[in-house]
């Protein structure tokens, strides 16, 4: 089953449906689902645990804790770019909220980069058919890590390419001294069909590596067509490999315009970008434990990342992930469900600009990863949850069928085996053999807003956020309280 | 039948369907449609004319003249705000293109206002939960005609209201010295259900009159929630009654943010808007005649407006209307169809900021309006055409049934009687008794882009633009060549 399959209308293999509801409502489900749970599952998930998982799900679906926290993070605190006062304030706020819940909270110091956006503007100064004495504005935004122009900007001709191959074919003679525009299209139809992440993966290569490739051929600046599906003159930022030249994303509309005009003749652009790389700052990962009653050394991580891009307020990327993880702890405390293993809530710092938060965590804690039972991250938005991408053994997946049953009523039944760590911040854990889970959502509209000024609170549907909170809490409590830890 | 009915799935009254196709393909249609055309219709639309109308429709549906013209207007010339060099260059360009088609072209001088956008930015300086030392950016754009702040901007507390009534209830004590935000919601669901224009009408009152109402109570600036349905952090400009204070549209997201924070406590904003009212300019209406062979003094107007707002490139508002009208002339010339009455193509100047173009036209030509047979304007976008809003007598509507028949294959069969002139630039003609037609389109997405930076060429679907060109050309040629002029 490939990722494609997830959105195809058949989101899980038939063997999953065969045990649907069976364990949650045995009386009713038995008639509908003739198959019995395996003896192993029955042992791992005794009836009491299944009842607790159902209670957790119901609590999550009837609570707005996560949404209220998200409203505070996004609207009262605001954008939380790595290195900003807001990002650090957010860490302190989340720490305080988790302390209020009774967790043992540790603010782990992280040395983070601090890149700040400056002025950004561009205009076409010369192009076929231009009305003398006028210019045409180009809407763009600097890519993370971009170098700056002078305050007065730079002026150069634009050369457009559709691919790395086309850039190489042009060679330094036609690229040196120019502004290169990479016009790789984000495949909207693929995204609408449920393959948003593969579509993103194809296009984002140019954002990540395009500026460096252009600089290597002598370009004075690089532009990429925004990676995303919105057609609202909206530029999408994101990290780019350091290239030593100014680099920005133009909107889809502006890319179309430039390509159209460049096909007719010479296009000359004035470009001003004045971002700055400031000295590193001290910020924090928030690490908060609800200690396990039986195996406190065995840890289940629930997490999202606190830092956001600066253009919007980081609601879907990834305030939502943080508050979903917070709600797991809130529900367990509210329902007085003490986990048998330790539940660890982590709000990661700096997922977006280099992962200094997860690196710092790994540096301090990797010796304990052998005892970790599972690690979950939510970093794909807040739309209706589909289930989890899972990097784990087939036996581990098999052991989780009862969780699928509990989550079937909200549709979050996918347990998609992956070959890669399903979350940037839990990559090191996953690579160390910890069963790793990425909470996955309906991603069809995610890249409309991702890394743009439109990543704001209104994009989160409260009912869908509650479903996500339910999915994470149910999975997390299953991992803390199933009889044996997941096989590795 | 109300406007609501247009999008209900039953776009025209049953008496229209009863004659569907009958006259175009009499042999086939007779079996399907037992009713015969009225004797009056048969006299007005002899078979030759019906064949010509079908040929015009086919020519329009197979031609990209309008799209190529639109690409030039929007991308090579660019934004065309009234008073700008681009607007005047566009008039000269269109005049040249119509001369190439063999029309008699007159550039009618129009004295136009010239308002130009300046710097525009805003930030929240104080609000509940704010991280000390930070601010939060507010995305906005000045409304047309807005006064400016100083270059340094102004700082004031924000008061939010949902209605004029709420503003009045606050009174001068709570409004004086404040920035007033009108948070009237554009009804997205109404728009999605086909009632975009009524939804617009309800919300736009605040854009038009809100700043003046706020100024009358002593406000130092006024903000309105953008009138439109997009949720992409996109501000929508438009004219506002002169209020003597700075006035801007904030995005829906920013309006939500401010209202949320203001409900929790004091919100203080710094606002910079530096638009300028420059001296009036001389610009032009383009007036181009294809002289009638039999009744040159009887005129049928086809039109759209050349000026646009400055944020986008004016593709849907209203480059599309201009190029659709141009294509009517292009098709008649290409098919060698000399109209019996005069076809007059008008590309209006300054629909957006006061109508100086239509006023100048009326001042010069109103004595002839008695001889005008019909006036058509397209100014509702370029989406799939539904038909026409018509201000005319019931007898005139009745006489046009054969046109509905010809247009049925593209679905543009609506002839919706209106009580108001169905086009801003043809209002004076309509008020003088000239049968007036507004080409109407599926408006569900129009206000996503209208008056915003996202009104760009990519929003126009070539196949839909061709349908619009077909609808206007068929109606126009019917009016020039039906036996008797439409009854008044």
Of A85, A132, A230, the CB nearest to B131: A85
Instruction: Compute the nearest-CA separation of A43 from chain B (Å).
Output: 48
Nearest CB to B231: which of A133, A134, A458? A458
**C-alpha distance from residue B141 to each of A139, B275, B450 (Å):** 14, 10, 14
First CA to last CA distance, chain B: 21
Give the mutation candidate from A92, A231, A235, A260 for the B interface (greatest B CB count, under 10 A): A231
Nearest 5°: phi and psi at B295? Answer: -130, 70
CA distance B94 to B116: 24
Q: Do A130 and B76 touch (CB under 8 A)?
A: yes
Q: For A13-27, A274-288, B270-284, which range has the lowest pLDDT when averaged over its residues?
A: A13-27
- Nearest chain A Cα to B448, which residue? A232
| Chain A CB contacts of B137 below 8 Å | 79
- Mean pLDDT, rounded, for A311-316: 98
Tell me the chain B residues in contact with residue A137 when contact means C-beta distances shorter than 8 Å.
79
Chain A: closest CA distance from residue B9 (Å): 26
Residue A30 scores a pLDDT above 90: no
Test the A interface: residue of B124, B133, B253 with most A CBs within 10 Å: B253
- Tell me, what's the pLDDT at A41? 75
Q: Would you call A231 and B459 a contact, using CB atoms and an 8 Å cutoff?
A: yes
Would you tell me how many other CB atoms lie within 10 Å of the CB of residue A476?
30
Q: In this complex, which of B134, B230, B233 lies closest to A456 when CB atoms are compared?
A: B233
Do residue B233 and residue A257 have CB atoms under 8 angstroms apart?
A: no
When scoring A126, A129, A267, A315 by the number of chain B Cβ atoms within 10 A, the one with the most, hence best to mutate, is: A129
Say if CB B381 and CB B23 are below 8 A apart: no
In chain B, which residues touch A (CB < 8 A)? 71-72, 75-79, 84-86, 89, 127-134, 136-137, 139, 230-234, 252-253, 256-257, 260-261, 264, 312-313, 448-449, 452-454, 456-459
- pLDDT of A38 reads 66
Residue A77 to residue B131, Cβ atoms within 8 A: yes
* B449–chain A nearest CA distance, Å: 7
Q: How far is B303 from chain A (nearest CA, A)?
A: 24
- In chain A, the percentage of residues whose pLDDT exceeds 70 is 92
Which residues from B are below 8 Å from A252, CB to CB? 458
The predicted structure's pLDDT at residue B41: 75
In the beta sheet, which residues pair with residue B107?
B286
CA distance B234 to B224: 13
Give the distance from residue B215's alpha carbon to the nearest chain A alpha carbon, in angstroms.
29
Q: What is the mean pLDDT of residues A227-233?
A: 92
Distance (Å, whole) CA A60 – CA B254: 29
Amino acid A64: pLDDT = 97
Residues of B with Cβ-Cβ distance to A457 under 8 angstroms: 253, 256-257
Q: Is B232 in Cβ contact with A260 (below 8 Å)?
A: no
Q: How many CB atoms lie within 10 A of CB B189?
A: 9
Residue A202 bears catalytic tag: no
A89/B233 Cβ within 8 A: no
pLDDT in tens, B442-456: 999 999 999 999 999
- Do A127 and B76 lie within an 8 Å CB cutoff? yes
Among the partner residues A86, A257, A260, nearest to B131 by beta-carbon distance: A86
CA angle A26, A30, A31 (to 5 degrees): 135
Contacts of A97 in chain B (CB under 8 A): none
Supply the pLDDT for residue A37.
Answer: 58
pLDDT value at position B192?
A: 93
> B261, A75: Cβ pair inside 8 Å?
yes
What is the spatial distance between Cα A218 and Cα A180, in angstroms, rounded to a whole number? 10
Residues of chain B with pLDDT below 50 are 1-36
Q: Which of B351, B427, B464, B467 does the annotation list as catalytic? A: B351
**Angle (deg, nearest 10), helices B85-100 and B320-334:** 10
Q: Interface of chain A against chain B, CB under 8 Å?
A: 71-72, 75-79, 84-86, 89, 127-134, 136-137, 139, 230-234, 252-253, 256-257, 260-261, 264, 312-313, 448-449, 452-454, 456-459
pLDDT(A5) > 60? no
Q: Which of A456, A457, A461, A462 to mutate to test the interface with B (most CBs of B within 10 A)?
A: A456
| Interaxial angle between packed helices A85-100 and A320-334, expressed in degrees from 0 to 180 and rounded to the nearest 10 | 10
Lowest mean pLDDT among A35-49, A240-254, A459-473, B203-217: A35-49
Query: How far A472 CA lies from chain B's nearest CA (Å)?
Result: 28
* Confidence band of A125 (pLDDT split at 50, 70, 90): very high
Q: Map tokens 């209201």 to a residue.
A: B161
Dihedral angle computed from the Cα positions of residues A336, A341, A342 and A346, in that order, rounded to the nearest 10 degrees = -100
Query: What gap in Å lies between CA B340 and CA A346, rounded to an integer?
Result: 79
């Amino acid at each position: 089953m490939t990722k494609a399959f997830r959105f195809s209308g058949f989101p899980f293999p038939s063997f999953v449906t065969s045990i649907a509801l069976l364990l949650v409502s045995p009386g009713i489900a038995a008639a509908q689902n003739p198959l019995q749970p395996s003896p192993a599952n029955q042992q791992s998930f005794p009836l009491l645990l299944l009842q607790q998982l159902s209670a957790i799900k119901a609590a999550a679906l009837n609570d707005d804790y996560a949404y209220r926290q998200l409203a505070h993070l996004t609207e009262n605190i605001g954008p939380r770019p790595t290195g900003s006062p807001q990002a650090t304030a957010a860490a302190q706020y989340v720490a305080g909220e988790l302390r209020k819940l009774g967790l043992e909270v540790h603010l782990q110091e992280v040395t983070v980069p601090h890149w700040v956006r400056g002025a950004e503007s561009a205009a076409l100064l010369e192009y076929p058919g231009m009305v003398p004495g006028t210019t045409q504005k180009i809407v763009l935004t600097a890519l993370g890590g971009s170098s700056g122009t002078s305050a007065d900007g730079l002026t150069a001709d634009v050369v457009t390419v559709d691919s790395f191959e086309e850039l190489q074919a042009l060679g330094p003679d036609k690229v040196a001294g120019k502004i290169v525009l990479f016009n790789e299209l984000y495949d909207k139809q693929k995204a609408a069909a449920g393959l948003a992440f593969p579509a993103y993966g194809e296009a984002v290569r140019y954002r990540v590596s395009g500026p460096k490739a252009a600089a290597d051929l002598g370009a004075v600046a690089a532009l990429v067509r925004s990676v995303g599906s919105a057609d609202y003159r909206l530029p999408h930022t994101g990290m780019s490999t350091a290239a030593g030249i100014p680099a920005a994303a133009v909107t889809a509309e502006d890319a179309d315009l430039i390509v159209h005009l460049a096909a007719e003749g010479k296009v000359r652009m004035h470009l001003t970008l004045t971002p700055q790389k400031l000295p590193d700052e001290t910020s924090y990962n928030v690490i908060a434990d609800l200690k396990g009653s039986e195996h406190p050394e065995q840890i289940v991580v629930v997490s999202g990342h606190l830092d956001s891009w600066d253009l919007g307020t980081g609601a879907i990327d990834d305030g939502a992930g943080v508050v979903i993880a917070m709600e797991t702890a809130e529900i367990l405390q509210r329902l007085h469900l003490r986990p048998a293993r330790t539940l660890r809530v982590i709000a990661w710092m700096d997922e977006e600009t280099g992962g200094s938060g997860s690196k710092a965590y790994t540096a301090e804690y990797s010796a304990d990863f052998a005892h970790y039972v599972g690690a979950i991250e939510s970093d794909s938005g807040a739309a209706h949850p589909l289930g989890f991408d899972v990097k784990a053994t087939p036996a581990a997946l098999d052991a989780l069928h009862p969780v699928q049953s509990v989550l079937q009523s909200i549709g979050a039944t996918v347990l998609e085996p992956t070959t890669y760590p399903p979350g940037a911040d839990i990559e090191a854990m996953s690579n160390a053999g910890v069963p790793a889970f990425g909470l996955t959502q309906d991603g069809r509209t995610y890249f409309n807003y991702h890394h743009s000024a439109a990543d704001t609170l209104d994009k989160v549907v409260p009912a869908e956020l509650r479903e996500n909170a339910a999915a994470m809490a149910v999975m997390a409590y299953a991992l803390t309280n199933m009889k044996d830890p997941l096989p590795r």
